[in-house]
Amino acid sequence: MLKIAVLGCGRIGRMHAENIHAHPRAELAGVFDVFAPAASEVSQKLGVTNFASAEDVFASENVDAVLIATSTPTHADFIEQAVAAGKPILCEKPIDLSLDRVNVCARNISGSELPIMLGFVRRFDPGHRAVRLAIEAGQIGDLHQVVITSRDPGMAPDAYMEASGGIFRDMTIHDFDMARFILGEEVTEVFATGSRLVNPALMERLNDWDTVSVVLTTASGKQCIINNSRKATYGYDQRVEAFGSEGMAVSENRRPHMTTLHRGDFTGQGAPLLNFFIDRYAEAFAAEIDAFVDTIENRVAPDVGFEDGRQALVLAEAALKSVIECRPVKTSELG
Amino acid sequence: MLKIAVLGCGRIGRMHAENIHAHPRAELAGVFDVFAPAASEVSQKLGVTNFASAEDVFASENVDAVLIATSTPTHADFIEQAVAAGKPILCEKPIDLSLDRVNVCARNISGSELPIMLGFVRRFDPGHRAVRLAIEAGQIGDLHQVVITSRDPGMAPDAYMEASGGIFRDMTIHDFDMARFILGEEVTEVFATGSRLVNPALMERLNDWDTVSVVLTTASGKQCIINNSRKATYGYDQRVEAFGSEGMAVSENRRPHMTTLHRGDFTGQGAPLLNFFIDRYAEAFAAEIDAFVDTIENRVAPDVGFEDGRQALVLAEAALKSVIECRPVKTSELG
Amino acid sequence: MLKIAVLGCGRIGRMHAENIHAHPRAELAGVFDVFAPAASEVSQKLGVTNFASAEDVFASENVDAVLIATSTPTHADFIEQAVAAGKPILCEKPIDLSLDRVNVCARNISGSELPIMLGFVRRFDPGHRAVRLAIEAGQIGDLHQVVITSRDPGMAPDAYMEASGGIFRDMTIHDFDMARFILGEEVTEVFATGSRLVNPALMERLNDWDTVSVVLTTASGKQCIINNSRKATYGYDQRVEAFGSEGMAVSENRRPHMTTLHRGDFTGQGAPLLNFFIDRYAEAFAAEIDAFVDTIENRVAPDVGFEDGRQALVLAEAALKSVIECRPVKTSELG
Amino acid sequence: MLKIAVLGCGRIGRMHAENIHAHPRAELAGVFDVFAPAASEVSQKLGVTNFASAEDVFASENVDAVLIATSTPTHADFIEQAVAAGKPILCEKPIDLSLDRVNVCARNISGSELPIMLGFVRRFDPGHRAVRLAIEAGQIGDLHQVVITSRDPGMAPDAYMEASGGIFRDMTIHDFDMARFILGEEVTEVFATGSRLVNPALMERLNDWDTVSVVLTTASGKQCIINNSRKATYGYDQRVEAFGSEGMAVSENRRPHMTTLHRGDFTGQGAPLLNFFIDRYAEAFAAEIDAFVDTIENRVAPDVGFEDGRQALVLAEAALKSVIECRPVKTSELG
């Protein structure tokens, strides 16, 4: 049994703790949260250690690996500490809101061969993954266009929005990673357009956007379009379409069940899409833990690592620059 | 140009008249209706002859073929007259409500080689036809089970219901023909169950049923289930499912368009299914005229002829007997 | 934590053991299997007790409740022993292949107020359950017709088929329970027709059928149709349709993911349906354990109990009698 | 009966001629084609006049209106001649490949109040129209994003491509019009990216692109994305998605029928999408003629007129400039 400790007991940390607890080849080594009651609740419910500090987690001989689900500003520090302690890492995205800090972190941990896996959970979604597998199997021929639709069911609280780093670093970053996952080729140019349509006053105040469209292009001419909105009233809209010389693969939205209603005024589902990310990506979050366990057991590099986290942030920075300067931005401009 | 006259200018006769008018290789030779204003309206709108009597139609040298869309009790007489006059026939179902009258008609016209086509329009529906083509192409292997769902959008006026001959002869008869079309083998046994759930008082008075389920079996053991209701609030429910040793083919419902709505309370179509039979089977009605023209031009036997009309009525009689006697009925019992 | 022991470590028992292990409010108290290596493998993997006998399980103070997933002939005995030992029970279907034995068991345990839950897992499927919830919420008005399609992905090994008790007691029994769950009213008459189309030689030898259609009716005239086949090449076909005075609810098939392929020769999923019952009903099996834990914690009667198991068997007996005697059978004939 | 003559008897002209012939309130007044045998074939099949010249058509007292389906370079001239002759016009897109020529034509016909309708047929598609109706009915709240997917089933012959004016003027022009139809607000900025992926050698030679993505924005911040490819192996991919503050409306692809196949290797349709534009938009082409007849009968302005044709061309020019200059282009730059 691989013993994994969880740092951060917010809703995403709690969910990871339960998934580790349920995993047949892993066990939950304990939890930590800077807000003690949060960790205490989880430790009692699942009968595991409540660590007094992150340092204690890293120092514990009873911990084989760590899952970092704390607030974003702590990620880079904890990655460095975990590397120093020799503990394999699964870290929630983003590594940091600052590309500079990420680059510093990269230097600080260079040379380490510890597995560092980034929590781009959507790569583990069976539907999105089926798109990539279809491409790899040649079922759509050469890839030409990718369309990623990603709309949140509703806007987070103002406090969250203020600390989020803006839509590109907080929300689109998942889509930038998905684009790289599907394109299989680095993006060379980013054009983004941003609007303030959901909550114009807040967006104005934060100098942010709630509705964005992004066009990515690669050296070979592949095109990828990303649509984002902070608020889809019909649920969590998560689709990936890949179009190629021999066909198309589309990962459609998931629903709470496959039951439809037929009535005089409508025929379809009498419900919105799944609208909570933990429900929508439940299978993906479980598969992510599975992949992390595999990575450590088999001593292989994770499918999605530190550099993937850095590249997604490069695209976020390029998109931000594109909106501000009203022009397409080469990723090479960001070094 | 093949000159076709239409007898009967009710809504189905009018629709046929317009389809003949629009057909590139046929022209409307004229119309007749016992209720003169009905024929007059069509003749003026489409600029064609308004025949004074059915006899005039049959006698006209300007008429190459006739389409009989008059009331059911006239069908057998008009078929006999048209045969005597040497005019090929497309006749709406049923031939007659009485199997005896149909058998007499069969004897009266025996020996004639004129094309007599029965208006079982659903055979010409691209979707239902695709099911049969899939079977013929071996795509589902040997056929094992057929499920036909056929529910009307609403009950016809009481006067119509009283003269209809009951649900089996009026409504299920289409499904009996569809069963024969898909099964490709004669039915040997019929079990039917009938309920009075939509309008119990009327059904009680008419000694009829508004909700029926029927099981048909063939000599080789193929099974076919038919579900009927006189009232589906969500539109005209018309589906055919064929299950076989190598797969399944399903003709799903048609909709007014392929546009879906996604909202907080539902995701689907903000509309019922197509709910008028002329809209639902618009392509089929046009294809039926096309097949009739082909049949005459190519001097071949029609795909669906007099004997098909008779066999469907045999199944209707068997179903009626089954409900009344609460037992499965062999078709051989009906001669 | 509720301590649940699992009797029977075949594939279904193993799956239950893992679900109990993963449940946040339950723990796996141990396992037993008459074939010791099967239990040993599970006990080692999940780190729990390997009981030496069923008697040890029932006698253990460390066991709060039992899940019976052993072979069918042991079910009734184990239910009686568990009741004697005061352990709440979740028992896989069927209680027994013999209605007489079930009736004896019912008498032997009468008076006990212990929760005895029957493993009709499909009641816990989110899709099928949504159909019932739609009915309860009045979304389809008064229920008129139910169509249950249930086709296995392939035939079990001959040895299993020989001991299965025939298609009605082994396979259709799930659909009989689903019919009762959806109809909300007892069935009064059963008509069944059986064919030998998938493996005629084997069916002939076993005096069994591999393809059946069943019509159930209730006192108020509700109709329910069940279609079964032992072999659907396209996967595990599991659908429930409820039609009523105000609309229709349909629980459609589930798929491995929502990804479609569009190519020149087809558009759809490049894969069959989920074809293993443990995958198809994964959420339902987890929800079943959840309901069992709730039942015990809240000291309420289970949603699906012993009498439900008995009634499903009554319908199976009636269907069998119907096919053999070629007539509709009243459930009252079976006492 | 409104008498309409058709100029141009290529495949699109022939289709229009048949639709006029079939229309209950219009008749085909005759046809003309510079290639006489083409017109001759149509005139004989439908029994109408074969005009010796376009001049004869415009001069004929037997012609109430004209449908221009000749080659693009003749459109502007014929529009001017028809206006001079006082004949209402339905003209296929584009008015001309040159925005200058269109502007000259606009001046030449200014002052005329004759109905001039542009053949942007997709506006008449029931599905795309349902999206606009949903927006107008407030069903999706305020419009935020539009996604138009438009991929041809295959590349036209080289000779056609060479004379087409390039992808933006020939193909995307339909999508530019659809964008304006759905957005309900003029586009202020265009960003386009073009790739050569389907036939790089030909595209290189023509200085054209076969794969383009375009982002349109309006003054209020609405965003519209268009995806084009010259070759979709799975048929004619035609979708329109509108996303708003209260929901989403999506016009999905149409299929030859609603029949699906379920087999071990796939579940879906055993066929591509409808892949010929005349089939895909059959209902729209008929509705277009209907709208033209209505326009003339009711003496109202057409829903889609000359200025719509001009504006679509402005967007095409802006897109072309955007790809060439690698920057977003304001529509105001094009005057």
Indicate whether D54 and D166 sit together in one domain.
no
Kindly determine whether residue A127 and residue C258, on different chains, have CB atoms separated by under 8 Å.
yes
Nearest-CA residue of chain D relative to B284?
Answer: D257
Residues of chain D under the 50 pLDDT cut: none
Does one domain contain both B142 and B39?
no
Q: What is the pLDDT of residues A281-328, one digit of tens each?
A: 999 999 999 999 999 999 888 999 999 999 999 999 999 999 999 999
Give yes or no: residues A71 and A178 share one domain.
Answer: no
Q: Classify A11 as helix, strand or coil.
A: helix
Residues of A in contact with C258 (CB under 8 A): 127, 251-254
- Region B90-104 average pLDDT: 96
Q: Strand, helix or coil at C27?
A: strand
Residue C35 lies in domain: 2-114
C268 shares contact with chain A (CB less than 8 Å): no
A264–B233 C-beta distance less than 8 A: yes
- Residue C120: closest CA among C176, C58, C53, C76: C176
Instruction: Give the closest-approach CA distance of D211 to chain A in angstroms.
Output: 8
Q: Provide, rounded to the nearest whole percent, the portion of chain A with pLDDT above 70.
A: 100
Q: Report how far residue B184's alpha carbon sits from residue B172's, in angstroms, rounded to the nearest whole number.
A: 18
The tens digit of pLDDT for each residue in C27-65 reads 999 999 999 999 999 999 888 999 999 999 999 999 999
Interchain CB contacts (distance < 8 Å): A and D:
109
Show which of D114, D134, D149 is a domain's final residue: D114
* Residue C172: per-residue pLDDT: 98
> Which site among B152, B266, B269 would you substitute to test the A interface, given the most A Cβ atoms closer than 10 Å to its Cβ?
B266
Let me know whether A160 and A246 are in one domain.
yes
Tell me the per-residue pLDDT of C223-259, one tens digit each, with 9 for 90 and over: 999 999 999 999 999 999 999 999 999 999 998 889 9
For residues B107 and B43, state if they share a domain.
yes
In a domain, D145, yes or no: yes
Choose among C18, C253, C270: nearest Cβ to A258. Answer: C253
Sort out which chain B residues have CB atoms less than 8 A from D263's CB and list them: 139-140, 246-247
| For residue A26, pLDDT beyond 80 | yes
Same domain, C106 and C227: no
Read off the pLDDT of residues C277-329 as tens digits, 9 standing for 90 and up: 889 999 999 999 999 999 999 988 899 999 999 999 999 999 999 999 999 99
| CA-CA-CA-CA dihedral for B241, C322, C175, B215, to nearest 10 | 20
Beta bridge partner(s), residue C218: C187
Nearest-CA distance from B195 to chain D in Å?
Answer: 30
Decide which of B114, B148, B164 is a domain's last residue.
Answer: B114
Per-residue model confidence (pLDDT) at position D115: 95
ipTM value:
0.95
Q: Quick check: is B301 in a domain?
A: no
Contacts of D311 (CB under 8 A, 6+ apart): D176, D177, D180, D186
- pLDDT-derived band at C276, boundaries 50, 70, 90: confident
Residues C254, A259: C-beta atoms closer than 8 Å: no
Mean pLDDT of B10-39: 94
Q: Once rounded to an integer, what is the mean pLDDT over residues A151-167?
A: 94
Please indicate whether, in this complex, the C-beta atoms of B222 and C195 are within 8 angstroms of each other.
yes
- A53 assigned to some structural domain: yes
**Closest chain B residue to the Cα of C236, Cα to Cα:** B247
**Do D227 and A195 lie within an 8 Å CB cutoff?**
no
Residue C247 and residue B233: Cβ atoms within 8 Å? Answer: yes
Same domain, C162 and C187: yes
Strand partners, C241: C147, C250
Chains C, D: CB pairs < 8 Å: 68
Contact with chain B for residue C22, Cβ under 8 A = no
Q: Which of D233, D267, D272 sits opposite C273 (nearest CB)?
A: D267
Four-residue CA torsion sign, A262, A268, A272, A273? positive
Q: pLDDT tier at B123 (50, 70, 90 boundaries)?
A: very high
| pLDDT at res. D43 | 93
Report the neighbours of C using a cutoff of 3 or more CB pairs below 8 angstroms: A, B, D
Smallest Cα distance from D266 to chain C, Å = 4
Beta-carbon separation of A267 and B261 below 8 A: no
C319 and C225 share one domain = yes
* Predicted pLDDT of residue C335: 65
So what's the pLDDT on residue B335? 65
Give Cα B127 to chain centroid, integer Å. 15
D252 C-beta neighbours (distance < 10 Å), count: 14
Q: Has residue B214 been placed in a domain?
A: yes
- C262 touches D at CB < 8 Å: yes
pLDDT of residue B276: 84
Let me know if residue C295 belongs to a domain.
no
Q: CATH number of the domain that B238 lies in?
A: 3.30.360.10
Interface test with A, best of B233, B253, B262 (most A CBs within 10 A): B262
Of A52-61, A264-273, C126-135, D157-166, minimum mean pLDDT range: A264-273
Q: How far is CA C117 from CA C302, C309, D65, D308, in A?
A: 6, 9, 77, 68
Q: What is the largest CA-CA distance in chain D?
A: 65
First to last CA, chain A: 42
Outline where chain C has alpha helix (H).
11-22, 36-46, 54-59, 75-85, 99-109, 126-136, 158-163, 167, 173-183, 200-206, 277-280, 282-297, 306-325
- Smallest Cβ–Cβ distance between D193 and the set A215, A233, A245 belongs to A215
Q: Regarding predicted confidence, which is higher, A25 or A91?
A: A91
A93 and A61 in a common domain: yes
Q: For position C254, what pLDDT does the model report? A: 92
Percent of chain A with pLDDT over 90: 90
- Kindly state whether residue D20 falls inside one of the protein's structural domains: yes
Q: Is D155 on the interface with A (CB under 8 A)?
A: no
Do the chains contact at B266 and A269, CB–CB below 8 Å?
A: yes
Q: How confident is the model at residue A335 (pLDDT cuts 50, 70, 90)?
A: low
Q: Is the pLDDT of residue B151 over 70?
A: yes
Among the partner residues D46, D47, D259, nearest to B252 by beta-carbon distance: D259
Q: pLDDT digits over A109-118, tens only?
A: 999 999 999 9
Q: Which of residues 157-216 of C touch A (CB under 8 A)?
A: none
- Could you tell me the sign of the dihedral formed by the alpha carbons of B131, B135, B138, B140, in that order? positive
C194's enclosing H/E stretch is strand C187-195
Distance of residue B253 Cα from the nearest chain D Cα, in angstroms: 7
Q: What are the chain D neighbours of C264 within 8 Å (beta carbons)?
A: 233-235, 272
Grade residue B323 by pLDDT with cuts at 50, 70 and 90.
very high
C43 touching chain A per CB within 8 A: no
Residue of chain A nearest B235, judged by CA positions: A264
**Contact at 8 Å (CB) between D226 and D214?**
yes
Q: Closest Cα of chain A to C126: distance in Å?
A: 6
Give the tens place of pLDDT for each residue, A189-220. 999 999 999 999 999 999 999 999 999 999 99
**Chain B hits for D128, Cβ within 8 Å:** 259
* Position D136 in a domain: yes
Against chain A, the chains showing at least 3 CB pairs within 8 Å are: B, C, D
Looking at the structure, tell me whether residues A172 and A61 fall in a common domain: no
Q: What is the pLDDT of residue B230?
A: 98
CATH for C77: 3.40.50.720
Output the six-digit token pair for B335: 């001669």
**Overall number of domains in chain D:** 2
Number of Cβ within 10 Å of residue A85's Cβ equals 16
pLDDT digits over C93-134, tens only? 999 999 999 999 999 999 999 999 999 999 999 999 999 999
Per residue in D279-314, pLDDT tens?
899 999 999 999 999 999 998 889 999 999 999 999
Q: Which of C132, C251, C257 to mutate to test the interface with A (most CBs of A within 10 A)?
A: C257
| A133 and A110 co-located in one domain | no
Q: Residue B157 burial by CB count (10 A; 0-12/13-18/19+): exposed, middle or buried?
A: exposed
Binary contact (B145, C227; C-beta < 8 A): yes
Contact C232 B211 (CB under 8 A): no
- Co-location of A326 and A229 in the same domain: yes
Contact flag B197-C221 (C-beta cutoff 8 Å): yes
Q: Is residue C129 part of a domain?
A: yes
**Predicted pLDDT of residue D1:** 83
Shortest CB distance from C272 goes to which of D232, D234, D267? D267
The residues, any chain, with a CB within 8 Å of residue B34's CB and separated by 6 or more, are B70
| C-alpha to C-alpha distance for B299 and D115, rounded to whole angstroms | 48
Are the Cβ atoms of A259 and C250 closer than 8 angstroms? yes
| Closest residue of chain B to A154, computed from CA coordinates | B264
Burial grade of A305 (CB within 10 A; 0-12, 13-18, 19 or more)? middle
List chains touching D (3+ CB pairs under 8 A): A, B, C
A149 touches chain D (CB under 8 A): yes
Query: Which of A114, A137, A166 is a domain's end point?
Result: A114
